[in-house]
Amino acid sequence: MTLKSRRGVLLSIPGAALALTSIEAVAEPDRPVPAALNFTMKDIAGADVPLSRFAGKVIVVVNVASFCGNTPQYATLQKLYETYKEKGLVILGFPANEFGKQEPGTNAEIKDFCDAKYRVTFPMFSKVVVKGEGQTPFFKHLTSKETNPKFGGDIEWNFAKFILNRRGEIIGRVPAGKDPASADVVRTIEAALAVRL
């Protein structure tokens, strides 16, 4: 996968702005899209985003919520993103309301909160269902024991984290309550970043 970076796109909303990174990917014929990235999701502004554009990067997928005891992890995730994005890390945030109804807002409200409270600049997506009836196919892929036998299983709470390597393979899962800056998590990310395709 040949990756070409473009300028960040600044999305404006009343009283706030959220910078999202735009990355263009051009598929090479000998590199098919990894199964885990063969989905199209809507970003926080409602635009379609093929997850294949993140192929070749180390990815942390997180289901997020604005009113949870784990919500301060936004700050740690943002710090990780700022530290490692130039080396190829991307964090993908997916708001979900399945756990304690702790993400009740609209996409615009979620975007406003993320910018005002945590200055989030990593890609954020529209609210999805990550568990139970109506589960989005992407999270079904991440949690199914058929497609993810090693790290599959229902998401337990807000801020569960899946780590994918540059080949789009799921190489780790971090429990919802665990600090994403924990030493073992950082080691896994750094090891994945060290591998070049």
Express each pLDDT in 109-151 by its tens digit.
Answer: 999 999 999 999 999 999 999 999 999 999 999 999 999 999 9
Question: Tens of pLDDT along 14-46?
Answer: 443 333 333 334 444 467 899 999 999 999 999
pLDDT of 30 reads 62
Domain count, the chain: 1
With 0-12 / 13-18 / 19 or more C-beta atoms within 10 angstroms meaning exposed / middle / buried, residue 187 is exposed
Catalytic residue ranges:
68
Q: What is the CATH classification number for the domain harbouring 16?
A: 3.40.30.10
**Domain enclosing residue 38, as ranges:** 2-194
User: Exposure of 171 by Cβ count < 10 A (0-12 exposed, 13-18 middle, 19+ buried)?
Assistant: middle
Residue 30: Cβ within 10 Å count: 5
Which of the pair, 10 or 96, is modelled with greater confidence?
Answer: 96
**Residue 192: pLDDT above 80?**
yes
Tell me the sheet residues that pair with 43: 125
Q: What is the pTM of this model?
A: 0.85
